[in-house]
Each structure stands twice: as C-alpha cells, then as structure tokens.
Chains A and B, each alone.
Chain A
C-alpha cells in the first residue's frame, strides 16, 4: 500500500502539470475575485472564507479525473485489481495520494492568499485547520466520483456534475467554521461536524469506490 502511495506521488510530481496546476488555478481564482467584486477591503474580508473554500474545492475538482484515467488507459488499474492488495486499500491510497498532491499544498498556500483577500486575522488558524480537516474528504469523495466515470470518454464534465452536490456538506461546514472564526464566534461545532464527514467518508467510501471500479473493469 505504501509502495502504491509512493508510486502515485512520484508520478504526480514527475509527470509535471498535475501537481502545480491545481495550485495555480487556486491562485488565479482568488486573484480574479477582487476584480469581479471590487477592491473594498471590508467586503473582501467578509466574503474571504467562502471564496477561499470554493476556490480550493474547484482546484481539488480540477485534478480528479487524473486519479484513475491514466491507470485505466495503460492497464495498470486492471493489474491493481488482480493484485493481492484489496482494491479498497488501493482506492484509499489513491485518495491519499490525491490529497497529498492537491489538498495539502492548497491548505499550506491558503493563508498566504488570505492576505490578498484581507481575511480577518483571527481566522487564519481556523482556515488552516478547516482546510486540513476538510480537504481529505474532498479527495475521498472525488476518488469515488472518478471511479464512477473512469470508463467514459466524456467523463470530465459528468464527474463535476456528480461530485459537486456531494461536496455541499463539506463546503458548508468548512466555510462556516472559518466565518465563525473570523467573527470571533466558537467554530468548534462546525469543525467537529466536518471531521465527522471526513472520517465517515474515509471509513465507507473506499468500499463504494472499489465496488464501482470492479463494475467498470468487468
């Protein structure tokens, strides 16, 4: 399992594009927002938690179809399915690799972009924590979506249609935690609920993902 994780990480970093693309997209979305809504600091700092969360969600979405597509095309997914490693474990590792290459860098970069949107100073810690807890759920749910659409030729657009509604609870709790942090309220409730979603996704979705992969490889 560790070997699979390392292989995916190496592929993501060396193949170029996949690794930096999500980050660059995140940066561009955050930079574009002030052009759209105007440069007023008060307005920007009010909408900053939501913008940062929506932008990181879209950046995570961008790289989802790469999770299984390449392995499916060159046949290594079929090899994975017949290997002694249970497919559920492979799905879990794929999600983890996706998180390490997109969710983790996004989390680390987000506070820097918070400056651009003049996020309230109290909110930085909560932004970091909420992204750290929430982005693994985005990766796991996205891995399930990628497994659903792996065999399809025009799967990319369909993937976003399937995955975005599934992202709703994570987004609500994530942005709400940062907003409460920015306003000086107690964000623990939102953070706990989001941690629950992440834990639940990681406990259950690998099974759904593996079932779907078996159907698609049939």
Chain B
C-alpha cells in the first residue's frame, strides 16, 4: 500500500468525496475569522492608516498564485514520470484558480498602491514578474484548450510548464536587473526580524491558512469535475460504438 494508491481515479473520487466539504468548511471558517479579525480588530497602521488591511487579501493571494504554479509543476512532473491521469487533471484544474489568485494579487496591489505610492501600476520588478506569471498561466490554459487528444494535451502542457518555470524564474531575476523596485521586501520571512508586527501577523496567518485550504478545496473540486467529464466522454464514445 503506497501513497500512489490514492491517485487511482476511483480511489481519488472515493476519498475526496468526504474530504471536500470539510476542506471547504474549514477554509471558509479560517477566511471569515481571519478577515473579520484583520479588518475590525486590528489597529490602523501608524503611517498607512486603514489601507494596511488589504494585506489580508493581497499577501495570501500572491503567495498562492506562486504556489499554484509550483503545484502545477509538481503535478506535471508526476504525470511525466508516473503517468497518473489524476495528476495531469489536477494540474489542469489548478491553472484557472492560479490565474484568479494572480489577478486578485494584482488588483489589490493596485488599489493599495494608488493612495500609498500615488499610482495603480509601476514597472516594479515584483509587479512586472506577476504580470509575466499571469501571461504564463494564460499560455498554459490556452494550450490545454487547443489540443483535442487529452493525453497529448497533458504531455505538451507538462513540458510547457517545466520550460515555463525555468523562464519564469529567469524573468523574475531579469526584471530585478532592469528596474529597481518600489515594492517593499518580504513581509513574511521565517526569521522574524523584518516581519510585520504581531498584531497584523496572527490574523494574516489565519488568512493564509484559509487561502491554502480554499485552493486545495477548489483544485479537488475541479479535479473531480474533470474526472467526471472524462468518464462522460468515455461513456459517450462507448455508446456511439454500440
């Protein structure tokens, strides 16, 4: 009995059915607690006023936008090496969720940037690399949509995801070279020296947990949908032959 057992589509459908509502429920609970705590029960920042509270949406979504791509990369590698169909479908399912997180991060950043920096958009390295990440997501999704044969599509998108990851990292450092930034440094590193103050830190952690769980729940749900869609297609093909 290995962990790969759970990647069998039938098993996957079996264990995700009870897990899914719980994941959604805990994600919702975390988001409600974290956001209410963050929005109403933390003090305004000394210099930024109440605009600081957008951090509870901005930081977790930016974090998950990157993690969604990493998850797609891992799923693509698993598909290429072990050829588990559920893995390819999970990568496909994660892409639109990642796009939405990227957009949330870009929009909340713009809304915060207008009063703080005086502009919605600046060609800052972090902002620019997020825009490039968004373009990578679009290309990945478009390639999935364009190819009819599901196995070919899974193979090609996996290779694109791997090559794209290398170039996404390259772009990340290329834009650093190109323009010095306006965006502040990491607010969430593990060495606590430069982190945000504890008052903002704990509700932020709850929000991040909420976003992670929301991502997991959405990907599981979308993967289940993809599996069902593929079963329907198989049934239709069989019916046509009969």
Give the chain B neighbours of A173 by CB distance below 8 A.
174, 177
Q: Is B229 an interface residue (CB 8 A)?
A: no
Are A165 and B142 within 8 A (Cβ)? Answer: no
Q: Is B138 an interface residue (CB 8 A)?
A: yes
Q: Is A197 an interface residue (CB 8 A)?
A: yes
Give the chain B neighbours of A168 by CB distance below 8 A.
132, 167, 171, 174-175
Are A161 and B139 within 8 A (Cβ)? Answer: yes
User: Which one of A76-84, A110-118, A208-216 is at the B interface?
Assistant: A208-216
Cα separation A181 to B132 with both chains bound (whole Å): 27
Among residues of A, the one whose C-beta sits closest to the C-beta of B134 is: A165
Are B146 and A152 within 8 A (Cβ)? Answer: yes
Are B152 and A162 within 8 A (Cβ)? Answer: no
Are B159 and A165 within 8 A (Cβ)? Answer: no
Give the chain A neighbours of B159 by CB distance below 8 A.
148, 208, 211-212, 215
Cα separation A22 to B38 with both chains bound (whole Å): 55
Q: Is A205 an interface residue (CB 8 A)?
A: yes
Q: Is B143 an interface residue (CB 8 A)?
A: yes
Could you tell me which residues of chain B, from 150 to 187, have a CB within 8 Å of some CB in chain A? Answer: 152, 155-156, 159-160, 162-164, 166-168, 170-171, 174-175, 177-178
Distance in Å: Cβ of A212 to nearest Cβ of chain B: 5
Are B135 and A165 within 8 A (Cβ)? Answer: yes
Q: Is A218 an interface residue (CB 8 A)?
A: yes
B contacts with A: majority SS: helix
Could you tell me which residues of chain A, from 139 to 169, have a CB within 8 Å of some CB in chain B? Answer: 144, 148-149, 151-152, 154-155, 158, 161-162, 164-166, 168-169
Among residues of A, the one whose C-beta sits closest to the C-beta of B147 is: A152
Are A216 and B152 within 8 A (Cβ)? Answer: yes
Are A164 and B142 within 8 A (Cβ)? Answer: no
Q: Is A190 an interface residue (CB 8 A)?
A: yes
Are B139 and A162 within 8 A (Cβ)? Answer: yes
Q: Is B130 an interface residue (CB 8 A)?
A: no
Q: Is A104 an interface residue (CB 8 A)?
A: no
Are A144 and B152 within 8 A (Cβ)? Answer: no
Give the chain B neighbours of A164 by CB distance below 8 A.
135
Contact with B along A193-218 (1 / 0, CB 8 A): 10001000000110010011001101
Q: Is B136 an interface residue (CB 8 A)?
A: yes
Partner of B178, one of A155, A165, A172: A172
Are A169 and B163 within 8 A (Cβ)? Answer: no
Cα separation A158 to B157 with both chains bound (whole Å): 13
Are A148 and B177 within 8 A (Cβ)? Answer: no
Are A162 and B160 within 8 A (Cβ)? Answer: yes
Are B175 and A165 within 8 A (Cβ)? Answer: no
Cα separation A212 to B201 with both chains bound (whole Å): 45
Q: Is A65 an interface residue (CB 8 A)?
A: no
Instruction: Pick the 10 closest A-B CB pairs, nearest first.
Output: A169-B174, A165-B135, A169-B170, A215-B155, A162-B139, A172-B174, A168-B171, A166-B167, A172-B178, A161-B139
15 pairs of residues in contact across A and B, judged by CB atoms under 8 Å: A144-B163, A148-B159, A154-B146, A162-B143, A164-B135, A165-B132, A169-B167, A169-B170, A176-B177, A176-B178, A193-B177, A197-B170, A208-B159, A208-B163, A216-B156
B interface list, Cβ under 8 A from A: 132, 135-136, 138-139, 142-143, 146-147, 152, 155-156, 159-160, 162-164, 166-168, 170-171, 174-175, 177-178
Q: A151-B152, A158-B143, A166-B163 are in contact. List 13 more A-B contacts (CB 8 A).
A: A148-B143, A149-B146, A158-B139, A162-B142, A165-B139, A166-B167, A169-B171, A172-B171, A176-B177, A212-B156, A212-B159, A215-B159, A218-B152
